[in-house]
Amino acid sequence: MLKTGRSNLTKPVKLYAQLAIQAARGGDDLYTTSLMTLADELSASERKRLVKARDNALKALHEYADWLEAGVANMPDWTPLGEATYNHLLKRVLLLPFDARDVATLGEIELGRYRALEALLKDPRLASPDPARAQHVPKDQEEFLAAYEARQQEMIDFLKQQQLITIPPYIGPFRIRQLPEAFKPTSPGGFMTPPGLYDADAGGFFYIPTYDPKSGNFYIRAAIEDPRPILGHEGIPGHFLQISISNHVANEIRRQHGDGVFAEGWALYTEEMLSREGLYPENSAAQAQVLRLSRYRAARIGVDVNLHTGRWSFEQAVQYFMEGGGLDREAAEGEAAGAASSPSQKISYIVGKWQIMRLLGRYRDAQNKKEGDTYRLGAFHDQLLSYGTLPLSVVELLMFDDDASLRKALQ
């Protein structure tokens, strides 16, 4: 595969090559630790073959990183998509009823709103997680991961007590694991792995950065002080629950679809929904963290749009994350690299959340008009997730028989 990569990469881009080098150099643990969990049940001869294959793979990865590094100085710099191509992506691929300027405006509005909501806290410092405020700081990585994972059950209990969503019996366990070093360059906050569409195992995983109680990383600090906002986003009721339900939608075509704006919009929406429904005490660190998380997701929009339309440099994007989003430099650089690597991914959170909240308002008004005062939030959530991970303009058509957003996207 790497030989093919070398022959195909006639004009590798410097930024992508630098990210690939970091990933390849930090990937040993995937093979020396994670992979070798497969060896426990192997015979001696099979284990020998696995070790040989592993060592060859690592050698190939290191040689590939060396090859990239040797040519970095002569590689072309990263270039943006340009506004026309970016708009094509928004409308014809994502089926959004917005162009780049609409999306950028939404980002500016939401960033201003969440910065102001932080300022309105009785103690605005709560929006920046601080392990020193935590009642207990885990002594090591194992205790940290176990404490993180243990908080999921109280969130499940809250959802059930408040009838906020139906949790089907097929939902599996959600585990917290350490983020492999190979993924740190573009995923500084970690990432979630849901069950595959045809997997027999219904469990999922969230990989979080290596534990360090003195770390400046936002995600580590947040996880020590109160992991629930991020845990809810990644686990239940966020990504893990939503994708697990989507995997069981009856229609095969809808099961196969994975719209990122819906998925990230739902997960971000659940952060604020849980806060407003009373999971966290007023003016608590968790409630403040929800505001900071929405604030930096709003900052992501400005970075994504301005990078890919050619208005900003990479360093301008980093600075915007730090100044507007309130992130530390390590997280800001990782976020900017992720934005450059995946056009439109960073807009999906706020754009999707905005579309879902718009649907929620319409749903409540329609229910009350049709059936009297019978609106229930949990019923909206159940209906929304029942369609699968579809573009929200399509969901609007299915939920209200209204194709206005879809037609606007396809103009």
pLDDT tens for 333-366 read: 888 988 998 999 999 999 999 999 999 999 999 9
Answer whether residue 186 shows pLDDT above 70.
no
What would the two tokens of residue 345 be? 């991914």
pLDDT of residue 328: 82
Q: Could you give the CA distance from residue 25 to residue 3 in angstroms, rounded to a whole number?
A: 17
Write down the pTM of the prediction. Answer: 0.88
CA distances from 128 to 60, 85, 218, 263, 295 (A): 42, 37, 8, 26, 11
- Please compute the mean of the pLDDT values over residues 195-199 and round it to a whole number: 92
Query: CB atoms < 10 A from the CB of 104, how many?
Result: 19
Residue 48 pLDDT class (50, 70, 90 cuts): very high
pLDDT of residue 218: 83
Answer whether residue 239 shows pLDDT above 90.
yes
What is the residue-averaged pLDDT of the chain?
92
174-178 β-sheet, strand order: 174-178, 204-208, 191-193
Exposed / middle / buried, residue 241 (Cβ in 10 Å: 0-12, 13-18, 19+) = buried
Each residue's pLDDT tens digit, 357-399: 999 999 999 988 876 777 899 999 999 999 999 999 999 999 9
Answer whether residue 78 shows pLDDT above 80.
yes
pLDDT of residue 30: 81
If you ran DSSP here, which 8-state letter would residue 254 be given?
Answer: H
- Please compute the mean of the pLDDT values over residues 179-192 and round it to a whole number: 76
What are the DSSP calls for 234-248, one per residue? HSSSSHHHHHHHHTT
- Please compute the mean of the pLDDT values over residues 153-176 and round it to a whole number: 96
Strand partners, 389: 258
User: Which amino acid, 35?
Assistant: L
- Nearest C-alpha neighbor of 312 from the set 137, 86, 113: 86
Each residue's pLDDT tens digit, 275-321: 999 999 998 999 999 999 999 899 999 999 999 999 999 899 999 99
- Nearest C-alpha neighbor of 403 from the set 100, 98, 95: 95
Exposed / middle / buried, residue 386 (Cβ in 10 Å: 0-12, 13-18, 19+) = middle
Answer whether residue 7 shows pLDDT above 70.
yes
